[in-house]
Every structure is written in structure tokens, then in C-alpha cells.
């Protein structure tokens, strides 16, 4: 291994590999352009991780916005429906995610493994109610696309047991099991964000596990551009030991090569894909979801971008240091800030509930963008985000707990509201 890359070059390769070099729209595009933006984003990312939180915008809607600007997420809802124009499947890829049909096919080994695993609750259901699975299948045939809760109600199954956590009826557990083993297909979500299921069609000749993992590793390596082995494995939630044979083969074939990235804390050994883009400078201003493939592997986010991120939704409000569901703000090839946003749709206002400077501890002061430049760029991006969400104004909250950049952003933007953390 004799190739060396600067830390900056590695960041730029990673971002360009994820499709972050293009222009971003401010106007709402046509239906055809919407669909094209979705398809092109998926070609870069391979998956869109799904999340139900909708305080600003859902996680699976944000990556297309991050890369292309204004777009209509209804294109995604149409793309998952059955029919000749379907381009998305819900798969357990990186957690629950939308993928193209080929990635879904490659993950058949995971569904097979689930069918062979001992689920205690499913074993107990099979003993206590051996007819339940056939009843669930018959209900789905009768009802058409519907949720597990709707199947449960149809069957008169209302006993959710006791305790806390995922309390489901037996029929809901049966539906979940049939989905995870590939017998059911998810064709969208309802207003409560519950999956809508139908019986799955037979899959055409899914590959064996080793061949599937080789292809998934190839796709992950291309999507990442440059990465440590652990990040390649994490992309499709594989174990490092599972991906090593594929990586060794790709190294031998010249598809990957080892490079050394000069990091201030010491060199990082990474894998560079043969088709990785050149590390040209970027001119980018974009909000990035914490579940975007650019950042969803937290060790990679810290190693490449010097950002330590922990989501706040699981932390009591009084203990949160950096917001509830903060989005990272990308400026060129750095994340100098994060913002905690809330869409107040009743007032048509985008609330900026927190604006936080990223410490970037390994970056020298001369390399960090000045606060004035960050604030000006962030203000432009917030206006674009508000327009995308159909909101008329941006309101910056200031005061205790709203972050070290909130006052400056409020002064720049001109509309603010004092606020105290609950």
C-alpha cells in the first residue's frame, strides 16, 4: 500500500460518490423530473433508510432533497406501489429501507435466515393457534393491501399481552414474521405510517448467500467511494467477517485498492474503489438527515468528518444537549453546524429550535469556516427547506438551550422568538 490521500480529498470523494456534486433546485419540478431525481438518488445511495419521525420531514424523503433540492415525495409513494412502474421495494437492508428490486433480491438470504431462526413468540403462536397463519393469509387475500392492525381487527384478535415495548397481538406478530421471511410484500404506508401488506410474488432465482454478499459489498464500496472495512460492512448491515472474502477478491481484481488517509490523529487505512470520483472541491449547502447514507455509520462520520453525533429523540428533553432530531448542515465538504427543526404547519412556519456549532476538534482554526459564512449559507438553506415543505416563514428560536449559533442566525434572518427549554 503506497497510495496516500489527504483528509480533505477523502471527504470530497465520499461526498461525490453519494451524489453531492450537482445543482439543487428551488422550484418544484414536474412529475417526470421528480421520478428521475428519485431514481438517480437511489442509483447513488442504493437505499433510503425509513424512519417514522416527521417533526420536519421523514428520513427517507430527505436524501433526494439533500442531493437535488426541491422535489415531491409523493413520487416515492407511487414508486413503491405494485405495477409496471414500480421501482422500489421495502427491504431490511440498513434497518428498514427502500431499495431497488435488485437489492431486494440480493437480500433473499437474509429472509431465508429469518425463516430458519427460532422466534419464541412465533413458536408459541404456532403451538397455541396452528391455524393462525392460514387465517392471516386468507385475510390479506380478502382485504387487499392493509396493515397488520387491520388484519388483527378483521380476525377479532385484540389481546396484546401485558408489559411495555412492542405489544402486539398474535396475528400482528404473524404478519411481521411473514414479511421478514419474504412471504409478504410491503406496498406502502398508511396515514399512521403502518406498513400495507399483500402476498409477495415469487422471486426469480435469488442468488446464494456468498454471491449476494459479493454484489452487496461491491455496491456498498461504489456508494461510499472510500471507506474503512467496517463502513462497507455496515452499509447493508453485514458483519465484517462476512464481507472480508468479497473485499479480498475485489482487491485481487483491482476493483478496490488500499490507501492511507492522512488524519490529524494518525493515518487511516481505507479502501478506494476503482471508479471513485476525483476529489474536486465542492460548493454545497445542504441539510442532511441523521439516517442519510452519508452519515448513518457514526464511526465513519467521526473519522471522515470529525463529527460526533448522537440523536436526541431517546434522551429526556432536560438532558438534551443538541436538539431532538437535529439535521447536520453540510457546507462544501464540512459539517460546521447542526439544526433542530420543527415544521409548525398550522402557522406555516419552519421553527429553528436549535442552532449548534460543530466543534470539529481535529480541524485547525484556519480550515474551519467562519461563523458569518456558516450563518449566511445556513440561512439560505433554511429558506429552501421551508419552501420545499410549503412553509411561508423561518423563525429562529433563541435563548437557553437553543445553541451557540442561534442568536447570530436570528440576527441574520431577522425573525426570532425567545424560547426556554422545557
Confidence of residue 416 (pLDDT cuts 50, 70, 90): low
Topology adopted by domain 129-199 = Arc Repressor Mutant, subunit A (1.10.10)
pLDDT at 2: 63
Looking at the predicted structure, is the pLDDT value of residue 164 above 70? Answer: no
Confidence of residue 421 (pLDDT cuts 50, 70, 90): very low
pLDDT digits (tens, 9 = 90+) for 35-94: 999 999 999 999 999 999 999 999 999 999 999 999 999 999 999 999 999 999 999 999
pLDDT at 315: 85
- The string of DSSP codes covering 222-288 is HHHSEE-HHHHHHHTT--HHHHHHHHHHHHHHTSEEEEEEE-TTS-EEEEEETTPPP------EEEE
Give residue for cell 437557553: 400
Structure pTM? 0.94
pLDDT digits (tens, 9 = 90+) for 321-333: 899 999 999 999 9
Looking at the predicted structure, is the pLDDT value of residue 278 above 90? Answer: yes
In the chain, where does the domain assigned CATH 1.10.10.10 lie?
Answer: 3-100+206-273, 129-199
Confidence of residue 121 (pLDDT cuts 50, 70, 90): confident
Mean per-residue pLDDT, 100-127: 89
**187-195 — which CB contacts under 8 Å span 24+ positions?**
187/80, 187/81, 187/82, 187/145, 188/77, 188/80, 188/81, 188/145, 189/77, 190/147, 192/147, 193/52, 193/54, 194/147, 194/148, 194/149, 195/90, 195/147, 195/148
Mean per-residue pLDDT, 377-403: 95
Is the separation of the CB atoms in 176 and 117 below 8 Å? no
CATH of domain 3-100+206-273: 1.10.10.10
pLDDT digits (tens, 9 = 90+) for 240-256: 999 999 999 999 999 99
pLDDT at 116: 87
Amino acid at each position: 500500500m503506497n497510495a496516500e490521500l489527504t483528509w480533505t480529498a477523502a471527504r470530497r470523494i465520499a461526498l461525490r460518490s453519494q451524489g453531492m456534486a450537482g445543482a439543487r433546485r428551488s422550484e418544484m419540478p414536474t412529475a417526470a423530473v421528480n421520478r428521475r431525481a428519485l431514481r438517480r438518488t437511489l442509483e447513488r445511495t442504493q437505499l433510503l433508510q425509513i424512519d417514522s419521525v416527521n417533526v420536519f420531514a421523514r428520513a427517507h424523503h430527505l436524501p433526494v432533497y439533500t442531493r437535488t433540492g426541491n422535489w415531491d415525495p409523493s413520487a416515492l409513494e407511487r414508486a413503491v406501489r405494485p405495477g409496471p412502474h414500480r421501482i422500489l421495494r421495502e427491504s431490511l437492508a440498513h434497518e428498514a429501507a427502500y431499495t431497488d428490486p435488485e437489492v431486494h433480491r440480493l437480500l433473499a438470504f437474509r429472509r431465508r435466515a429469518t425463516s430458519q431462526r427460532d422466534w419464541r413468540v412465533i413458536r408459541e403462536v404456532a403451538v397455541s393457534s396452528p391455524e393462525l397463519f392460514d387465517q392471516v393469509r386468507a385475510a390479506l387475500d380478502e382485504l387487499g393491501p392493509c396493515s397488520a392492525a387491520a388484519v388483527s381487527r378483521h380476525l377479532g384478535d385484540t389481546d396484546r399481552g401485558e408489559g411495555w415495548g412492542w405489544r402486539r397481538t398474535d396475528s400482528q406478530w404473524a404478519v411481521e414474521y411473514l414479511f421478514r421471511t419474504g412471504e409478504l410484500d410491503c406496498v406502502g404506508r398508511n396515514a399512521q405510517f403502518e406498513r400495507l401488506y399483500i402476498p409477495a410474488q415469487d422471486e426469480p432465482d435469488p442468488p446464494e448467500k456468498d454471491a449476494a454478499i459479493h454484489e452487496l459489498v461491491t455496491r456498498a464500496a461504489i456508494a461510499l467511494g472510500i471507506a474503512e472495512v467496517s463502513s462497507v460492512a455496515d452499509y447493508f448491515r453485514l458483519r465484517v467477517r462476512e464481507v472480508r472474502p468479497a473485499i479480498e477478491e475485489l482487491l485481487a481484481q483491482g476493483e478496490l485498492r488500499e490507501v492511507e488517509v492522512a488524519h490529524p490523529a494518525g493515518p487511516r487505512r481505507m479502501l478506494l474503489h476503482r471508479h471513485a470520483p476525483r476529489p474536486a472541491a465542492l460548493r454545497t449547502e445542504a441539510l442532511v438527515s441523521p439516517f442519510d447514507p452519508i452519515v448513518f455509520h457514526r464511526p465513519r462520520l467521526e473519522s471522515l468528518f470529525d463529527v460526533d453525533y448522537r440523536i436526541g429523540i431517546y434522551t429526556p428533553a432536560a438532558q438534551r444537549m443538541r436538539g431532538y432530531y437535529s439535521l447536520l448542515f453540510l457546507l462544501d465538504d464540512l459539517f460546521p453546524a447542526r439544526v433542530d427543526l420543527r415544521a409548525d404547519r398550522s402557522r406555516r412556519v419552519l421553527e429553528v429550535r436549535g442552532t449548534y456549532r460543530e466543534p470539529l476538534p481535529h480541524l485547525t482554526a484556519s480550515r474551519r469556516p467562519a461563523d458569518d459564512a456558516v450563518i449566511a449559507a445556513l440561512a439560505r438553506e433554511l429558506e429552501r427547506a421551508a419552501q420545499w415543505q410549503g412553509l411561508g416563514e423561518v423563525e429562529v428560536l433563541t435563548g437557553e438551550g437553543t445553541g451557540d449559533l442561534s442568536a447570530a442566525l436570528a440576527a441574520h434572518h431577522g425573525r426570532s422568538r425567545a424560547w426556554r427549554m422545557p
